[in-house]
Structure 1
Amino acid sequence: MGGFLDELGKKLAERWLSLLVLPGLLYLAVTAAAMILGHRHALDVSYLAARITAWTTTPAASGTGGQVVAVVATLAAAAGAGLATQGVGSAAERLILAADWRTWPTPLRQLAEQRVGRRHTRWTTAHTEYHRLYQQAEQDRRAGAPPDLEQRARRHAEYRKYTRICLEAPDRPTWSGDRINVAAVRLDRDLHVDLPTVWPYLWLHLADTTRAEIATTRTAVTRAANLIGWALLYLLLAGWWWPATLITLILATVARHRIRTTASTYALLLEAVTRLHLAGLANHLGIDTSGKTSAAVGQTLTHQLHTQPLPPTTDLSPGHDPSAPFPKGDHPAR
């Protein structure tokens, strides 16, 4: 037990150091440079070195007590900066994934609704044009006409246009939020699976290695969102030191790319794992899957795992079975 706690303590210390302290120390170093250099000496490295050398040779800074206090204060400030960015990152992640945008306060909800409408209009236009070109190509192929290379190029361009917006009809105000939502949309359409209902049970059914892979990918989404927090902190320094604006732009660009990449990978894993392990979960729960299509298994599984309050007219008198199934054909989860 002692060895386990020691190992756990080491891992926590490593995560604290890598996620909070080291980025925080870098931020404090840049902050110090910004305060010393200002706009006037923004890129003057020799001036910065001279000021730091002068400060380190002062009696207060060269004494042992002063050094200990400075180190402790620096580590605390670095950890505080890291915690601040995580808080900002959590808020940014919620806005970017936008899973609950319909419950946001009115101004934000209205802005999100307008953005969803614009994205949906653009997607519908490109999607319709792509299918028109696709059906025309199919008609030409059946008629024995030679392939039209120009038409094929247009068709591929329309395909790239609508898939850049979203792989399915947009339902969220952001690309990353829609990308994760696409997994639920496809599973519902293809397998009749309600992912929010089935996922907790499927998660417990998965092997440790599979869960670790999914958890790592999900953590990567959070870390990518935390970069937005760092970008905003560096933006605060722009008033004293103009190169901080460049750092902010770089961090924001990297954050956008990483959020999209990690969200796409996470969505792929959600969909792939559900498709691969759905039948195994059904068998584990005692559902007979022999001779059934995947859609039938998914609908049965969703129905069995879905719970909802009893109807107001339910007879709760002694002897009545409140767990009696819904009428045949009724599917409250859908």
Structure 2
Amino acid sequence: MKVALDAMGGDHAPAVNIGGAIDALRYYPKMQHLYLVGIKSVLEEECRRQGLDLNDPRVSIVDAPEVIGMAEPGAKTVRKKKNSSINIAMDMVKDGRADAFVSAGNTGGAVAAATLKLRTLPGVDRAGIASALPNEYGICHILDAGANPEAKPEHLVAYAVMGTAFARGVLGVKEPKVGLMSNGEEDEKGTTFTKEAFKLLKQTPGINFVGNVEGRDLFESELDVVLCDGFVGNVMLKSIEATAKAVSKWLKTEIKGNPLRIAGAMLAQGAFRALKEKSSYETYGGSPLLGVNGVVIIAHGSSTALAVRNAIRVGLETVETGVNPRIEAALAAIHPSAPVEAATVTV
């Protein structure tokens, strides 16, 4: 499997991307080649600094003289900066030179480039970002987490099918539970948008739709996929991340204020480390952009080297498990008129 890494993407690029690349080359023997896409001179210098051997036959630099900044408007800049690392890396997936695209860069740019260059799968109108969230029962994916802020009810039906295929294929969940984010569990709760989506989801075959769910269910209930539009999903995800950081900071402050608490914290270091690993976005690496005709993994803008490494892992897993053929087959079962070569794949 071959991966095109947007080595210039992210708040701490290119250092964390090269660091993540080094670890990925060490830990993932199934990766046949890793393309580092970005400004050649900058990447060469960073590789020398971190000791990445460019004579390694599994790694090479692909020159991309332009960079889409984190604060730039994604869709407009993708069209303007045709030689950006996002565009060139995405072209590699489009042309078949790479099996997966990974980036911690401009999310809007990555989504726009994927949609324009790779197009969407048959039966998919809008792609969606599936972001992992740990809960009491394992991992729940919020879908959509920011790709499509103005979704229509029918888009959520496609998200439900795609999320189910991803949970089965990559996570090994036999019968993924799918919930619809609302302001109450009762069937009649919600906005006009969620009520219409509820009706459509109830009628959709091939998904285990459990009905409306609330914010607390993200952590307390056995859910594998939670559906919402990209606006709600992105606000929800960032609020959760900010809350986790705030609680961690408050806890440290309270512990440091008392010698007995400090002693207790030292005894509980193992538990704190395990909790940090379980709740950190670094562990989950990146979020797949489901619905495009290729494997696209979007990592957190403030990714560390560990997060980049794990984003590459997610890309490899998504390719290896054939998630897109599973999605195509599932959508073809709902929309028989949509042509699909992989309709025989079991989802």
TM bin, normalised by shorter chain, reads: under 0.3
> Comparing both structures, which one devotes a greater share of its residues to helix?
1
TM-score by length of 2: 0.24
> Comparing both structures, which one devotes a greater share of its residues to strand?
2
